Amino acid sequence: MSQQLKVTVWNEFRHEKESEIVRAAYPQGIHTAIGEGLSGNVQVTYATLDDPEHGLSEEVLNNTDVLIWWGHKAHNEVQDDIVARVQKRVWQGMGLIVLHSGHFSKVFKSLMGTSCDLKWREADEKERLWVVAPGHPIVEGIGEYIDLEAEEMYGEHFDIPQPDELIMVSWFEGGEVFRSGCTFNRGNGKIFYFRPGHETYRTYYNEQIRRVISNAVQWAAPSTREYPKYGNHKPLEEIKAKVKA
């Protein structure tokens, strides 16, 4: 897609206000680090939980090609009508990239239809993300794997539907594995779930992680295909009256 993509980066923006550790890692907020890491022809705007309508008004969403979502501690504070609004836009073709603990967001769970639960542990352990679909555009420019020296562990079983494509699988120092890069299609929209990004680690400054997210934005961009028309439909051909016996 050669035209400029309009990307909205959504973040709770709570940890950075309440924790010195997180504020030291992301002094301008996680959303800013994600947005500044995007490459390509993109126009980035930001939205946070405490903005009016969580920053996701009808106007904002209608002018968003790809929405990036990071949330963790306040999933239940996201209003249901805003969740429905996002879900509808995905069906209509807006791309959605869900990062790290966004797996438990109302938005992601509503689109998956499952609990999206998993195992987790915070132990400063090494993560290796193996690329298992090397020909996929989301991992263009990435080698066989990405090493992160310290991250939060997520482990299987990850209660999601079978992904349409499995792009990356993580191994952790403690022995667990996890489906860390998964794509889904919902309506006209494309969804990418990408695991790394615990708030106390500077993961979103890692150039390879930034490359994956930038690639995913391009991949998730809406197509030019029109949204299908539903409901009562006039016949395409003439229906001849049937003679009743």
How does pLDDT run across 230-244, given as a tens digit for each residue? 899 989 999 988 877
How does pLDDT run across 181-207, given as a tens digit for each residue? 999 999 999 999 999 999 999 999 999
Q: H/E/C letters for each residue in the chain? A: CCCCEEEEEEECCCHHHHCHHHHHHCCCCHHHHHHHCCCCCEEEEEEECCCHHHHCCHHHHHCCCEEEEECCCCHHHCCHHHHHHHHHHHHHCCEEEEEHHHHHCHHHHHHHCCCCCCEEEEEEEEEEEEECCCCCHHHCCCCCEEEEEEEEEEECCCCCCCCCEEEEEEEECCCCEEEEEEEEEECCEEEEEECCCCCCCCHHHCHHHHHHHHHHHHHHCCCCCCCCCCCCCCCCCCCCCCCCC
Q: What is the reported pLDDT for 78? A: 98
Q: What is the reported pLDDT for 245? A: 65
How does pLDDT run across 20-31, given as a tens digit for each residue? 999 999 999 999
Mean pLDDT of the chain: 96
Q: What is the reported pLDDT for 128? A: 98
Question: Rounded distance, CA 7 to CA 217, Å?
Answer: 8
Residue recorded with tokens 């890069």:
181
Q: What is the reported pLDDT for 1? A: 46
Q: What is the reported pLDDT for 140? A: 98
Q: What is the reported pLDDT for 3? A: 81
Whole-structure pTM value? 0.95
- Residue stretches of the chain with pLDDT short of 70: 1-2, 245
